[in-house]
A and B are shown apart, each in its own frame.
Chain A
Amino acid sequence: MNSRNRVVKDNLFKLFVFLLAALSILPLFLIIFQTVRNGISAINPEFFYKLPKPPGESGGGILNSLVGSFMLVILATAFSVPIGTLTGIFIAEVRNSFTELLRTLVNILQGLPSIVIGILAYLWVVKPMGGFSAISGAVALAVMMLPVIIKTTEETVRLVPFTLREASFSLGATYTKTIIKIILPASARGILSGIIVGTSRIIGETAPLLFTAFGNPFVNLNPMKPTDALPLLIFNYAMSPYEEWHKIAWGASLVLIIVVLGLNLLLKMVGKRWETKF
């Protein structure tokens, strides 16, 4: 009787834990469900290669924001990867009070609200340059990506076993060569994951772009000019009073969600395919 009681209790507890777990991922499914339901009808080939139509006309696409988001991600990656990997290596290799401070600052940077980073980019890039631009948006996004790149680089560089450095030094290699030829390649997977995680972090960011990249109804390829981005388009169109534009916003949201999910899949693949065995 007693032991039966325990089994029942045990099963009840398991059920309870399962329900809580299900509850915590419920919002994700609701979001995906809602976005697919509202967005799927907006999506057709035209959606990807046409510009938005004026209010009242149906159809049109989001080419301007696709191109813009792509350009912003590339620029932000180009800014943050060199600085981030070097800082990550530095923090991992050198242990003193300065790198300790640096590590703390990186954590603070990671916690900074994105809108604050946007304001700083406005003050330090938009103002001196005299106008909104893709560059300024990319700077804001790069600052958001930076801590992610630094941390993943640091972690993977730490994982490279000391025996590999010894092997390299024993062949007469200098410290710099050891870093470039041995440590960096062995950390490539980690750095790549950092770029992917960083990209999925910034691809949906709206706040830092509001007063930097600003938005643009046309396709823009000039980094010095204002540029649209998926989240900017969603923000602007969802706030508009027009039914057609709401539909476009849902379609763009669906695209954004698919991109983020795709990046997560890519991350899993990179983890498996590129694994370095030590």
Chain B
Amino acid sequence: MGDKILKIENFYAGYGHTWVLRNINLEIPEKKLTAIMGPSGCGKSTLIRCINRIHELNPEAIYRGHIYLNGKDIYKMHPTIVRRKIGMVFQKPNPFPTMSVYENVIAGYILNGIKLKKEEKDKIVEDALKKAFLWNEVKDVLHRKGTFLSGGQQQRLCIARALAMKPEILLLDEPTSALDPKATSRIEELIVELKKTITIVMVTHNIAQAVRVSDYTAFIYLGELVEFGPTEKVFAAPERKETEEYLVGKFG
């Protein structure tokens, strides 16, 4: 299964007085794409938001247990450090509306008060945009507002923004659910390329997409991890009947 970059141990999370996730134990392999699947409301978003510690931004948030990044407990690290090492892209593209394409890509450095020379910045921006398959489309409009781009381009801009920080893990929460099929397949190509160099954890509702891009699949049902394994195996011969029912479309 390769090296495990992230280990989730006896993890619980929820809101207010209710646990949404219960006793999650999961080991995420390095430089692979792990898909997180499960019916709506089962806690997929909650789980990946715990991995980069933005779950706790919600004043109602509760959580307990351990998550280790390369053996170090992320809940004992400073949250801003964790978030720089573990990037995240959301369901709806959310480029910063007041910033240009260029500034959006370099935003992580601006926001962390990291001073860079012009050439360093140029290089980071170009590299990140190339990695996000966006360079050719935006290299002439780098100084226009990021919000002028199409939805699919905006989402790739958000991926570039996350990649610019050189994270160890990239979290994607249904990154294509707001996009049309063409933009979606662009993002999928991009993700397949990216997973060669970076660990990706992606929430998706799209079974075909999970089959196309993921190496491992975790299946969550009612807040519990019911199945985890190589994608082909989980899809071809699921061990649990909840997984099978989900795959044949018994529940959304």
Contact = CB atoms under 8 A, between A and B. Distances in A.
Interface of A: 161, 163-174, 177-178, 181-182, 185-186, 188, 276-278
Interface in B71-92: 80-81, 83-84, 87-88, 90, 92
Nearest to A182: B96
A162 to B, nearest CB: 9
A176 B169 CA distance: 25
A171 B147 contact: no
A169 to B, nearest CB: 6
Contacts of B165: 171-172
Contacts of A171: 83-84, 87, 107-108, 111-112, 161-162, 165
B52 interface: yes
A182 B111 CA distance: 9
Nearest to A161: B94
B57 A166 contact: yes
A173 B80 contact: yes
Contacts of B113: 177
A174 B80 contact: yes
A181 B108 CA distance: 11
B136 interface: no
Contact of A163 (B92, B98, B110): B92
B107 to A, nearest CB: 6
A188 to B, nearest CB: 7
18 contacts: A163-B90, A163-B92, A164-B94, A164-B96, A166-B90, A167-B96, A168-B107, A169-B54, A169-B83, A170-B52, A170-B54, A171-B83, A171-B112, A171-B165, A172-B111, A173-B108, A173-B111, A188-B98
Given A169-B54, A170-B87, 5 more contacts: A163-B94, A165-B57, A166-B94, A170-B54, A171-B107
A161 to B, nearest CB: 7
Contacts of A172: 80-81, 83-84, 108, 111-112, 165
Contacts of A185: 98
A171 B81 CA distance: 9
A188 B158 CA distance: 23
A167 B158 contact: yes
B97 interface: yes
Given A174-B80, A181-B111, A277-B147, A167 B97 contact: no
A164 B94 CA distance: 6
Interface in B41-58: 52, 54, 57
Nearest to B87: A170
B147 A168 contact: no
A115 to B, nearest CB: 41
Contacts of B83: 169-172
A278 to B, nearest CB: 6
A165 B113 CA distance: 17
A64 to B, nearest CB: 41
Interface in B121-153: 147
Closest 9 pairs (CB-CB, A-B): A173-B111, A172-B84, A171-B108, A185-B98, A170-B88, A163-B94, A172-B83, A172-B80, A167-B94
A177 to B, nearest CB: 5
Contacts of A166: 54, 57, 88, 90, 94
Contacts of B108: 171-173
A168 B99 CA distance: 12
Contacts of B54: 166, 169-170
The residue in B94, B161, B165 that gathers the most chain A C-beta atoms within 10 A of its C-beta is B94
B104 to A, nearest CB: 9
B92 A173 contact: no
A164 to B, nearest CB: 6
Contacts of A188: 98
Contacts of A181: 107, 110-111
Contacts of B158: 167
Contacts of B52: 170
Nearest to A275: B97
A173 B54 CA distance: 11
Contacts of B90: 163, 166-167
Nearest to B148: A277
B111 A177 contact: yes
A103 B218 CA distance: 47
A161 B92 CA distance: 11
Contacts of A170: 52, 54, 83, 87-88, 162
Nearest to B147: A277
Nearest to A170: B88
Contacts of A165: 57
B3 to A, nearest CB: 24
A182 B162 CA distance: 16
Interface in B105-121: 107-108, 110-113
